[in-house]
Structure 1
Amino acid sequence: HEEDMRRLILESPDIIEKGFRPITREYQTSNGFIDILGKDENGSLMVLELKSRRAGVSAVRQLKRYLEDFKDDKHGVRGVLVAPSITHDARELLEAEGLEFKSLEPPRELKKGYKMTLDKFISSR
């Protein structure tokens, strides 16, 4: 399901926020692979960690580790945890670390091999 979320974000990046531009997916750092690396409308780097289920403290810690590779970036780097929901403890840690949360449900499979995307939903109205 994380791959479906990744595909949806790459096809419709504004679902993260207006002006978000993906740069690459599966970006390798010394601490593992970042799901999506992009820039916001001001040019600041954004590290997106995707979870297809409710995110917990371990997901926040994972995102924080990824950001360590960008600590020398002069423009600042935003860390965003993208998941359907987040635990209370994870939200507290996220806020304490200055990270962000974006609620996003994984796309649902309608028919085998067919996925509903935001573009398809809007264009069918």
Structure 2
Amino acid sequence: QSREPGQRGHSLPIIGADDFDKETEAAIVNSSHRVELVFQMLQRIVVEGVQSKVLSIAPPILSPTFQALGAALLSYHEAKKLSCVPVPVPYALITGLVLVSEAAMVPFVAACHSTGVVSSFGYAF
């Protein structure tokens, strides 16, 4: 396929949400574990492709594909766990205290170190 001038990205068609049949789309939308479902679908498509000889890939070359998919799912779960951890209360309090003290002190310090009215006003705001 030819690309238009200035067009970047893939020149191959990319599968999007509009390309799924209604049954698959409904299964994904109604699933409580969407990421795992799509992961399982991708693995199934690859395995079916190998079995039907659409993908003629030797197992030593194909196994890193499954390892990469598994590592991606593991990274997703690690990131999901990390996003559920609340910020420690002492950290939040100290961060707020530093922010408020900086907002209170910067105008005075800037005014002391400036040479005129215009620069004092500029540094403070």
TM-score (norm 1): 0.26
Greater RCO, CA 8 A, separation 6+: 1
Specify the structure having the higher radius of gyration (Cα). Answer: 2
Which structure features the higher share of helix residues?
Answer: 2
